[in-house]
């Protein structure tokens, strides 16, 4: 039972990542991220129930409130403020991107077979998903030009990390977790502020234009 839920959620997260790669509307991207975070939360809860670890509930609550509510809301506000809603031409067109992502997934899964549990066991899937998400997120950062998309991609990477944390360690010590989440928020806030400043300055949040500093 638990196993299936976990794998389902993980799969869901991966799908959401793929969807992010697959489309261009920023709002959708943010929503996808929200869903992704929600799934992450679910994973946390499931594990909490499964092996009776209460601090994981806190984790889950934190994740859901922060990542699937607060941050998306914040980002939406940013977008509204700026009024740019679509990701114009990424460096790589969608089909090609998807192909690359498939490759990345393969790599992730290959690596995930190296863990103690080997190919069976839920860990394998969780880690595999997580690693591929990580790479996909990074890939998104590479190919997308809008500042907000990059933030999202970064957050996807964060999610991936958390998924690994849940998957193979059933959570880090709570204090650390808290600290980490706190830092993540701060990072996002700063990114947001910077995006503002950038937009004020450049009338655009196309970061590919930020290329004055060469050599």
Partner 1 sequence: MLIALAIRLFTIVATVAVARRPAICRVVSMGGSILASAITGWLAVRVITSRAVIDGVLARHAASGIVFGYAVTPLSAWFLMVLALIAAPVAVYSIGYFAHAVPASRTATTGVGFNVLLGAVELVFVASDVVTFLFAWELMTLATAALVATDHEERSSRRAAYLYLVMSHVGTGCLVAGFLALASRAGSLSFSVLLTGDTVSGSLRHVLFVLFFVGFGVKAGLIPLHVWLPEAHPAAPSSVSALMSAVLITTGLYGLLRLCAFGLGVPSLDWGLAVMGVGALSAILGVLYALTENDVKRMLAYSTIEHAGIIVLGVGVAMMARASGRGDLAAVAMAASLYHVLNHAAFKGLLFLGAGGMAMGTGTRRIEEFGGLLRRLPWTGFFFLVGALAISGLPPLNGFASEWLLFQALLRGFASIPGLVRLNFPIGGALLALTSALAAACFVRAFGISFLALPRSRAAAEAPESPALMLVPQGYLAALCVGLGLFPGIVLQSLDRVLASLPGVQSPVALAPSSLAMASPRDVTDGVVPLGLAVAIGGGIIVGLLLAARRVSRRVPTWGCGGELTARTEYTATAFSKPLMMMFRAVYRPTREVEAMAEVSPYFPTEVRFRGRIEPTFERYIYTPLALAVLRVAVGLKVLQAGSLHAYLAYVLVLGVLLLIWLGGSI
Partner 2 sequence: MNLLVWTLAAPLMTAVAGSLGGPRRWNEATLIGGLSLTFALCLGTAGQFLGGAIPTAFGNTLRVDGLSALVLVLCGFVGWVSGLYGVGYLRRNDAGGFLTPRMLREFYGLVPAYVFAMLLVSVSNNLGILWIAVELTTLASVFLVAFHNRDTSLEAAWKFLVLGSLGLGFALLGTVLLFASAQGRLGEGMSALEWTRFMRVAPSLHPFTLRLGVVFALIGYGTKAGLAPMHTWKPDAYREAPSATGVLMAVGMLNGALYCLLRIHLISKAAIGADFSAGLLLTLGLLSVLVAMPFLLIQWNLKRLLAYSSIEHVGIMAVGIGLGGEAGAFGALLHMTYHSLAKPLAFFSAGTLAQLHRSSDFDKIGSGTLGRTPVASGLFLLAAVIMTGSPPFGMFFSEITILRAGFTGPHTIATSVFLGALVVLFCGFWYQAGRMTLGPDPGRNANTPEPEVVDLGMAVALLTALIAVVSAFYLPAPLTALIRAATKVVGGGA
Closer residue to partner 2 in complex, CB, 9/130: 130
186 binds partner 2 (CB under 8 A): yes
Q: Where are the alpha helices (DSSP H) in the chain?
A: 2-22, 26-50, 55-65, 71-82, 94-112, 122-143, 147-169, 174-202
CB 78, min distance to partner 1, A: 18
Q: Cβ distance 63 to 37 under 8 Å?
A: yes
What is the Cα–Cα distance from 126 to 134, expressed in whole angstroms? Answer: 12
Question: How many C-beta atoms lie closer than 10 Å to residue 79's C-beta?
Answer: 19
CB 193, min distance to partner 2, A: 9
Closer residue to partner 1 in complex, CB, 137/192: 137
160 binds partner 2 (CB under 8 A): yes
Q: Cβ distance 138 to 127 under 8 Å?
A: no
Residue 203's Cβ-count burial label (10 Å; 0-12, 13-18, 19+) is exposed
How many residues contact partner 2, by CB under 8 A?
40
What single-letter DSSP state applies at residue 68?
I
What is the Cα–Cα distance from 164 to 67, expressed in whole angstroms? Answer: 17
Binding mask 8-47 for partner 2 (x = CB under 8 A): ----------------------------------------
Q: Which two tokens stand for residue 152?
A: 């999202």
Closer residue to partner 1 in complex, CB, 9/147: 147
What is the Cα–Cα distance from 89 to 106, expressed in whole angstroms? Answer: 26
Residues forming contacts to partner 1 in the complex (CB under 8 A) are 91, 104, 107-108, 110-111, 113-114, 131, 135, 138-139, 141-143, 145, 207-208, 210-215
Closer residue to partner 2 in complex, CB, 95/201: 201
List contacts with partner 2 (CB under 8 A). 111, 114-116, 134, 138, 141, 147, 150, 154, 157-158, 160-161, 164-165, 168-169, 172-173, 175-176, 179-180, 183, 186-187, 190-191, 194, 197-198, 201-202, 207, 210-213, 215
């Amino acid at each position: 039972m638990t196993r299936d839920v976990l794998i389902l959620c993980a799969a869901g997260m991966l799908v959401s990542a793929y969807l992010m790669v697959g489309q261009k509307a920023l709002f959708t991207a943010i929503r996808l991220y929200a869903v992704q975070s929600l799934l992450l939360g679910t994973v946390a809860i499931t594990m909490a129930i499964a092996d009776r670890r209460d601090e994981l509930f806190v984790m889950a609550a934190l994740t859901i409130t922060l990542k699937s509510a607060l941050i998306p809301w914040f980002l939406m506000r940013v977008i509204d403020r700026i009024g740019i809603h679509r990701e114009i031409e990424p460096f790589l067109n969608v089909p090609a991107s998807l192909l690359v992502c498939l490759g990345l997934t393969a790599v992730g899964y290959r690596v995930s077979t190296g863990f103690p549990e080997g190919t069976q066991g839920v860990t394998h899937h969780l880690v595999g998903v997580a690693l591929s998400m990580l790479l996909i997120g990074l890939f998104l950062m590479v190919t997308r030009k809008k500042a907000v998309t990059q933030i999202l991609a970064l957050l996807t990477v964060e999610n991936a990390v958390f998924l690994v944390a849940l998957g193979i360690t059933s959570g880090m010590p709570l204090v650390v977790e808290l600290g980490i989440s706190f830092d993540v928020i701060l990072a996002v806030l700063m990114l947001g502020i910077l995006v503002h400043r950038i937009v004020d300055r450049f009338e655009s949040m196309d970061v590919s234009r930020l290329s004055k500093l060469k050599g």
